[in-house]
Amino acid sequence: MRTVVFDLDGTLADTSADLLAAANACFEHMGHGVVLDGRDTLVAFHGGRAMLRTGLARLGVAFSEDDISRYYPMLLRAYGEAIDTHTVLYPGVVAAVEALRRAGFATAICTNKPEALAVELVRRLGITDLFGALVGADTLPTRKPDPAPYLEALRRVGGTVARSMLIGDTETDRKTGLAVGVPVALVTFGPEGRAITRLNPEALLEHYDALPDLAQRILGAAAL
């Protein structure tokens, strides 16, 4: 079955403002003020630990990875309490995924957001029924760019590597595609804009309106 696997943060939805707010809540709890802002959108899409490292380095605070692991649950709690305050789907997501499914594609999410948070966010955004599976950062012992989460997402929807592709927004997604051996389309409306072309993906996605035709072109006609 032809399958399109999607990243979540920065690909299906702009979650950056809520992610940054959670990190800042964590810094404020440590006794600091707001540390991260809109200039740190790309950092936000690389996850909570990346935001903590960036913020602490900006503050000039010495830290170890043990410190990051200690602060990380605090960030997750703050994020879980305000997970969809500012988050919005990118334009055209729902129509594009519905069109794929009508054309016989399976669809799944493979994200480095913890699974419970990803499931809750997808539910609040009203798109749960658009995807046959969701694999998060802690669903398996490894996360992207390790190939195992992508392969698990495929397994859950009955897809195959040879007839699948990944839609993403960061170098992590590009590396995942290379690790699995599948084509990757990177969105140009994420934090890097068209600068994402530096990663030489197999395709660029300028707007979700173009996704159904792009998937048909890359994955070909349905098997008879």
Residue 174 binned pLDDT confidence (cut-offs 50, 70, 90): very high
Residues catalogued as catalytic: 7
Angle at 118 between CA 94 and CA 200, to 5 degrees: 70
What pLDDT, in 10s, does the model give residues 87-143?
999 999 999 999 999 999 999 999 999 999 999 999 999 999 999 999 999 999 999
What pLDDT, in 10s, does the model give residues 2-11?
999 999 999 9
* pTM: predicted TM-score of the whole model, two decimal places: 0.93
What pLDDT score does 224 carry? 33
